[in-house]
Amino acid sequence: MKLTITPRSPKSRSFPITLDFVGNPADVTVDEVQTAIAKKFPKYYPDRQRLTVEKTALESGKTLADYGLKDGDSVAFKDLGPQISWRTVFLIEYGGPLVIHPLVYYLPKLFYGQAFEHSWMQTVAYWMVMLHFLKREYETVFVHRFSHGTMPFSNVFKNSAHYHLLSGLNLAYWVYGPWNAAGTKLAERSDALVYGCIALYIFAELSNFSTHVTLRNLRPPGTRVRKIPRGYGFDLVSCPNYFFETLSWLAVSVLTLSWSAHLFFVVAVGQMYIWAVKKHKGYRKEFSDYPRGRKSMFPFIA
């Protein structure tokens, strides 16, 4: 069969082109079309391509017949630009705070112009942040399985700013400063408050890790299989991983009582809630038997 690839951009010099495939539309997959385009134009590797039919994106693993395409039909091509793997993106994002926090914590003269002894609150907050992002890096390498392989490279800088600036430099500078040093009034915390925050943090981090393992086990290696997640946390909300991460940052925010921690908490929770609502709607649309009693992110609320 023949398939014409037309450009989304009228300025394209490479398209349109016509490709020949052996078999009928039910035999030819979207992956084969992408491979054929990449073979003709090596810089347009499959992850860089977006193929659409009347604004409907063609998905990997499906056939042309799934989209009602016939011999001689056309498919629109869009160049998504240079791509980077999501795994690499996460390593870069979470790596920022892992570099910034030790620099600010251990080199106070460089950032504050003076040396001082850190308070118990500062030390506990430091290790909360470090262990959180070390856990995220571990999960990125050994736990997560990604449904989408890549993202545009240009988005790395925008995505990283959230972590490098808000939970990195902004949080570290204002929490580890001399105004919170040992012996200062601002650093005074009761044992009950500190240990309570530590207990909440440990519970939230372990629970968050558990939900990530559950999500990982839903998808066999090398596939994009989607199933309804069930079990711990998922019986109440669609995205318990976001809920438990909210509790982690709540512990940091309450412990430090810093406006920088409060700011990051509000921004992070707001963004996670937006993602949770989107995923919740996606689950309900995709699975007709999706549990009706689940909320998006906050149990019994929303």
Least confident of 18-22, 56-60, 148-152, 195-199: 148-152
- Tell me: do 75 and 89 sit in the same domain: no
- Tell me: do 73 and 143 sit in the same domain: no
- Tell me: do 124 and 261 sit in the same domain: yes
Q: Is residue 296 assigned to a domain?
A: no
- Tell me: do 62 and 177 sit in the same domain: no
| C-alpha–C-alpha distance, residues 47 and 232, integer Å | 34
- Tell me: do 70 and 162 sit in the same domain: no
Determine the pLDDT at residue 185: 96
Q: Is residue 252 assigned to a domain?
A: yes
Q: Are 172 and 106 in contact (CB under 8 A)?
A: no
For position 63, which CATH number holds? Answer: 3.10.20.90
Q: Is residue 25 assigned to a domain?
A: yes
Higher per-residue confidence, 236 vs 221: 236
Instruction: Write down which residue in 56, 81, 106 finishes a domain.
Output: 81
| C-alpha–C-alpha distance, residues 85 and 273, integer Å | 24
- Tell me: do 25 and 120 sit in the same domain: no
Secondary element (H or E) of residue 150: strand 150-152
| Bond before 10 cis per omega within 30 degrees | no
Confidence of residue 240 (pLDDT cuts 50, 70, 90): very high
SS3 215: helix
Q: Is residue 110 assigned to a domain?
A: yes
| C-alpha–C-alpha distance, residues 235 and 16, integer Å | 50
| C-alpha–C-alpha distance, residues 209 and 251, integer Å | 17
- Tell me: do 104 and 182 sit in the same domain: yes
Determine the pLDDT at residue 245: 98
Q: Is residue 178 assigned to a domain?
A: yes
Determine the pLDDT at residue 204: 98
- Residue 281 lies in domain: 84-286
* Burial class of residue 33 in the structure, from the number of CB atoms within 10 Å of its CB (0-12 exposed, 13-18 middle, 19+ buried): buried
**pLDDT exceeding 70 applies to what percent of the chain?**
98
- Tell me: do 281 and 223 sit in the same domain: yes
Least confident of 44-53, 75-84, 153-162: 153-162
Tens digit of each residue's pLDDT (9 = 90 or more) over 96-117 = 999 999 999 999 999 999 999 9
Determine the pLDDT at residue 148: 66
Confidence of residue 8 (pLDDT cuts 50, 70, 90): confident
Determine the pLDDT at residue 224: 67
SS3 107: coil
Tokens found for residue 199:
């207990």
Higher per-residue confidence, 290 vs 145: 290
| C-alpha–C-alpha distance, residues 17 and 87, integer Å | 33
The answer to whether residue 189 scores a pLDDT higher than 90 is yes
The answer to whether residue 131 scores a pLDDT higher than 90 is yes
Tens digit of each residue's pLDDT (9 = 90 or more) over 134-149 = 999 999 999 988 766 7
| C-alpha–C-alpha distance, residues 271 and 275, integer Å | 6
Q: What is the mean pLDDT of residues 257-270?
A: 97
Q: Is residue 291 assigned to a domain?
A: no
- Tell me: do 156 and 179 sit in the same domain: yes
Q: What is the mean pLDDT of residues 284-288?
A: 93
Determine the pLDDT at residue 222: 65
Instruction: Write down which residue in 81, 105, 136 finishes a domain.
Output: 81
Picking from 9, 6, 283, 276, the residue whose alpha carbon sits closest to that of residue 19 is 6
Determine the pLDDT at residue 223: 67
Q: Is residue 208 assigned to a domain?
A: yes
Length of the chain in residues, anyone? 302
For the chain, how many structural domains are there in total?
Answer: 2
Confidence of residue 162 (pLDDT cuts 50, 70, 90): confident
- Tell me: do 50 and 155 sit in the same domain: no
- Tell me: do 28 and 118 sit in the same domain: no
- Tell me: do 204 and 182 sit in the same domain: yes
- For the ranges 42-46, 129-133, 288-292, the one whose mean pLDDT is highest: 129-133
Beta pairing partners, 18: 4
